[in-house]
Amino acid sequence: MTILPIDPVANASPEALSSFLSDCRDSAAQAGRPSLVSITIQVDDLDPLAVLESIFEPGERHFYAERPSEGWAIAAAESVLAFSTSGPGRFAACQRFIDKVLEDAVAVGDQDIPFGGPHFLGTFSFLDSVAADEPFEAACLFVPRWQVARRGGRTAAVANLLVEGDSPVESLAAKVWRAHSKFRSFDFRPPELPDERSGVASSVDEVGGRRSYESAVSRAVRRISRGEFEKIVLARAKDVRAEARFHPLRMLNGLRQRFPDCSSFSVANGRGQSFIGASPERLLRVDGRVALTEALAGSTSRGATASEDASLGNQLLHSEKELREQRIVLDSIVRCLAPLGLSLKFPPRPQLRRLSNVQHLHTPVQARLRKGVRLLDMLGRLHPTPAVGGAPRELAVPAIGQLEAFPRGLYGGALGWIDSREGGEFVVGLRSALVDGSRARMYAGAGIVAGSSPETEFAETELKFKAMQDALLGA
């Protein structure tokens, strides 16, 4: 990638920007292939979700992720480049796509601004392949036309263009100039959100029925007792119908306010469907050459008083069943990453991770990347973790399709971004819902191990459903 650390907008004109893009067009014509041009400027503090609300179009791709407690958020809309694939080699295929795009890319502006430069926004479904009629591909990356993101008190606005040998550079330059001028002094216009009837459900139906889930748990426990696998994660789904269309960004705003310690997200496929949620689990983060992942397994509720809350947390920390489930996840992470030769560091005992409505056992894991090891190398080995699949993975994951009554799609999948410096972050698609007009399908799951009871696991999933149902219905 060619980096030009100048700001072509701040001290220039539309004509100067057009001249710069003309040079890029000439280079693309000479090379015989298009070039990605990414223009970054630092702007005054903006709320990326408010920006996305302002430019939201149901028929366009979008991506949003935010963790308020860590002070970062990224919003992106429209697509100038997209790539999709499926199968066991999907992570490697996505890496080849990124490398190919960056080979001819030109990045303009200060690349040291957080979230500066081109980003590849991605989703990976729970399974390696999905049915042809599912709304999201097994693996998809796209480069957005517009991106606004902030971290550490700094906000970056990025415009991405695909410049070809015959591109109309004057109109492209004018569009970028207008957009960056808008981002420099953003006028937040109220979004056209649905009326309050969208918070009224006409029906909420269990997919397959309650008995179906409890039966599946009982069958899973019997298979565990026969030694088929140690753990399996089984999910439920509920279909919600409302009196008006759901707006994913209205729900997203509610989720980020309710769950500041989670990663709130929304991804849209450009065909009308969105996948939204507030995930408590970071699958992988790479910053510099330091990688962070975590084992998150074992759950209990929050108490009504400080004493009750502490008592529930203490019980969780000493529960043989919950500690065993946590250790299964941690051992799997160590085993999956072993072929990469990384030195993993983690505390000897799990910690409590307290969210607004639930407590989890949590073990952070850190490693310094060796030369030649990249984010997607790790992601492909980690996903799906036993926290969403089971262990051993090769035995538990195929059994999920035999026991659940619906396709998972992005539920339990990986969602996130990769930047041009091989950094990025992916979260697990948990506490989530697939939204399509006035319909939504919510998902929640629980880890099944020896000693699990159908009634307890049903109650745990009910607790997890509440967060999304409140967001959907405005409770």
pLDDT at 473 over 90: no
Q: Which residue has the higher pLDDT, 148 or 10?
A: 148
Sign of CA dihedral 72, 75, 81, 82: positive
Identify the pLDDT of residue 366.
96
pLDDT at 221 over 60: yes
List Cβ neighbours of 63 (8 Å cut-off, separation of 6 or more).
74, 75, 76, 77, 121, 142, 144, 266, 267, 268, 417
Q: What structural domains and CATH numbers belong to the chain?
A: 2-184 (no CATH), 196-473 (3.60.120.10)
Identify the pLDDT of residue 6.
64
- Angstrom distance (rounded) from CA 110 to CA 107: 9
Which tens digits make up the pLDDT trace of 14-31? 777 788 888 888 888 888
Contact 389, 397 (CB under 8 A): yes
How large is the average pLDDT for residues 250-269?
A: 90
Q: How does residue 12 score in pLDDT terms, banded at 50, 70 and 90? A: low
pLDDT at 276 over 70: yes
Q: Which residue has the higher pLDDT, 280 or 173?
A: 280
Q: How does residue 292 score in pLDDT terms, banded at 50, 70 and 90? A: very high
Would you say how long the chain is, in residues?
475
pLDDT at 189 over 80: no
Sign of CA dihedral 416, 242, 254, 258: negative
- State the number of CA atoms in the 13 A half-sphere of 259 facing the CB: 30
Contact 237, 216 (CB under 8 A): no
By percentage, how much of the chain surpasses pLDDT 70? 93
Range 388-426 burial, b when 16+ CB lie within 10 A, else e: bbbbbbeebbebbeebbeeebbbbbbbbbbbbbebbbbb
Identify the pLDDT of residue 197.
44
pLDDT at 194 over 70: no
Contact 8, 39 (CB under 8 A): yes
Ranking 3-17, 70-84, 292-306 by mean pLDDT, the lowest is 3-17
Other C-beta atoms lying within 10 Å of the C-beta of residue 231: 25
Active site residues: 231, 281
Q: How does residue 54 score in pLDDT terms, banded at 50, 70 and 90? A: confident
Tokens found for residue 68: 């308020």
- Angstrom distance (rounded) from CA 54 to CA 179: 12
pLDDT at 198 over 60: no
How large is the average pLDDT for residues 463-471?
A: 85
Identify the pLDDT of residue 156.
92
Identify the pLDDT of residue 196.
45
Identify the pLDDT of residue 200.
63
Q: How does residue 100 score in pLDDT terms, banded at 50, 70 and 90? A: very high
- Angstrom distance (rounded) from CA 355 to CA 329: 20
- Angstrom distance (rounded) from CA 165 to CA 32: 7
Residue indicated by tokens 């970028």: 176
Cis omega (within 30 of 0) for bond into 384: yes
Tokens found for residue 130: 């999905």
pLDDT at 13 over 80: no
Identify the pLDDT of residue 233.
96
For the chain, give the mean pLDDT. 89
Q: How does residue 36 score in pLDDT terms, banded at 50, 70 and 90? A: very high
Q: How does residue 201 score in pLDDT terms, banded at 50, 70 and 90? A: low
Distance of CA 446 to the CA centre of its chain: 20
Which tens digits make up the pLDDT trace of 69-82? 899 999 999 999 99
